[in-house]
Structure 1
Amino acid sequence: MSYYAAALMNNLENAIIDIFEDLRNFVVTYEELLLKILYASVILLASYLLAKYLVKLTTRVMEKTSPPGKVKTVARGIKFAVVFVGAAIALTLLGIDMSGLLVATGFAGLVVGLAAQQSLGELFAGLFFMSEGSVRVGDVVKIDEDLGIVEDMGFLSARIRLLSGEIVRIPNSKLMSSKIYNLSKPTALRIEVVVGISYGSNISKAVNTIRRVLESHPLVLAEPEPKILVDSLGESSVNLKVWAWVPAKMIYEIKRDIVKQIKEALDREGIEIPFPQRVVWLRTLGGREAPEHSASRSA
């Protein structure tokens, strides 16, 4: 019995020795490859951590002065660039020839570029538009006939919420070629109101009445001074053009309030805002003409 036990222990010892010998031979044989894999893993991990740190640093620095869309774009670009460089270095350490990969990538990029010329054009237009910084998320803008608030600025398009509530998606290429009025940039904007008074009304009295309304309004700026001009002689009224400068962020609320106050002030002073009027000439049987005045309310 002891003979068999000794033989078993001897075989087990030899097996363990063989395993360690095979492991040592494997390590010796593939030592260089294992070291390359280790170094490549360290480089990938380091590039990821570096990219994460640079993204946080960039976001913290840029968010004070740049729109969120621009910050997000720059952060993504930095992360992609750092990780790509790290991956390229790791693959080079593993002995992978990057020239073939670069050629393949270039060919694939050419195919994708030809298939998506418009999308790439939108992308580059968006990057340029964000880097310019002329419009930010939250700004009130007028683009052609669309007036609203910028809700988002992406790689391919911008999303505008119109004052009526609808959301409009505008491609970045159109933004680059359109005339954009940013109503949030200036601190003050001019409002314009046209007031028509009847030909029988006293123009000076009407001007003074409107001036008192503007001077008493708490949100109408004293400088530049409001202006009231006799603009034109219309078919039914003498048209006065009213200019006043107000805080930009409240321009629409103030304009509605001023129009209301001007109408109420003119009514109190007995100054008529006339309906459209026409003078009709009637020919009588005796060949004589007599004018007949008529007034009609526009539908």
Structure 2
Amino acid sequence: MEWINLLVDIVKPIVLAIITLIVGLAIIKAVVKVIGSQIEKSKLDDSLKPFLLSVISAGLKVLLVISVIGILGIPIASFVAILGAAGLAVGLAFQGSLANLAGGVLLLTIRPFKVGDYIEGAGYSGTVKAIQILYTELVTVDNKMIFIPNGNLSNAGITNYSVNSTRRVDFTFGVSYDADNQHVLQVLRTIITNHELVMQDPEPFVRLANHGDSSVDYAVKAWVKAEDYWTVYYDVLEDVKLTFDRENIGIPYPTMDINMSNE
């Protein structure tokens, strides 16, 4: 009878552990399904949803394994200590990847930009093609693909040029001190107001801005639609040069006087 009791003492926790494992996995599956449906209805980024779901599932399974180990009579404290030490070792080995992972979660949660936006950050600029968990993919204006670690991007200042529908184009034009001030102002106002892509509300700004060492500097500021920014920028630069030449408005350039002596 003793061996039967001993066998029961051995088999009982094993059977209970197996039942707990099976029932626990079924419960976790149901819970994850319910949470998944709620996450799908949320406004979180599509790239973040499966990641969060997998983290929740993994966390619940770890708790289930710890419970099963406790039923088998294995000291949970020792197991948790081993698990913690292993986690620390893995964390130290992959601290760069973990930083990128945390950065990816932060970017996908806060969403300072989205796919299709033109941004500048971490020393790079381009159109966002994809936001992955570890890296963000940018396509530059000359069609290069850049993979920026999310850890670097989340810790750097990010400029998003696509958030607002309008942008302001700023120019500074230097002219000769010999040029007539009112004439220059009139020419610049005509150029900027006559451009079909320049918004008239707010009204373009044209004023004398600075008395430089060799030039009088004029500031020109105009609002345009975001997608028209570069078209207006290059058009105005070209128009100003052509008009200044036609109106005999001098554009100064650096000069150097060299005095030679025979002494």
For 1:1-299, what aligned pairs fall within 5 Å after superposition?
37=18, 40-62=21-43, 66-85=44-63, 91=68, 95=72, 97=74, 99=76, 100-143=78-121, 145-234=123-212, 237-267=215-245, 270-272=247-249, 274=251, 276=253, 278=255
Deviation by residue 1:200-259 (Cα, 9 ceiling, x = unmatched): 433322322322333233432334332123233456643322111222344223322333
Separation (CA, whole Å) in 2 of partners of 1:253 and 1:76? 46
Measured after TM superposition, the shift of residue 109 of structure 1 is 0.6
Residue 83 of structure 1 deviates from its aligned partner by: 4.6
Equivalent in the alignment of 1:21: none
- Secondary structure (helix, strand or coil) at the match of 2:42 reads helix
Structure-1 separation of matches of 2:233 and 2:54: 43
TM-score (norm 1): 0.66
Q: Which structure is richer in relative contact order (CA contacts within 8 A, separation 6 or more)?
A: 2
SS class of match (1:220): coil
**Distance in structure 2 (CA, Å) of the matches to 1:279 and 1:110:** 65
Q: Is the 8 A contact 2:175 2:252 kept in 1?
A: no
Share of identical aligned residues, percent?
22
Q: Deviations over 1:74-129 (max 9, x none)?
A: 3433343345455556x369747471543332121122123233332333333334
Q: For 2:147 and 2:207, how far apart are their aligned partners in 1? A: 40
Aligned residues between the structures: 251
Report the Cα offset of residue 171 of structure 1.
Answer: 2.9
State the secondary structure of the residue aligned to 2:116.
coil
**CA distance change for structure 1 residues 272 and 69 in 2, over 3 Å: closer, same or farther?**
farther
Amino acid at match of 1:47: I
Aligned-partner Cα distance in 1 for 2:13–2:254: 99
1:179 offset after TM fit, Å? 2.3
Q: Given that residues 214 and 220 in structure 1 are in contact (C-alpha distance below 8 angstroms), is that contact kept between their aligned partners in structure 2?
A: yes
Q: Where do 5+ consecutive residues of structure 2 fail to align?
A: 1-10
The 1:75–1:213 alpha-carbon spacing in structure 2 relative to 1, beyond 3 Å, is: farther
Which whole-Å CA distance do the structure 2 matches of 1:97 and 1:218 have between them? 78
- TM superposition score normalised by structure 2: 0.73
Select the structure of larger CA radius of gyration: 1
Listed as ranges, the gaps of 5+ residues in structure 1 are 1-29, 285-299
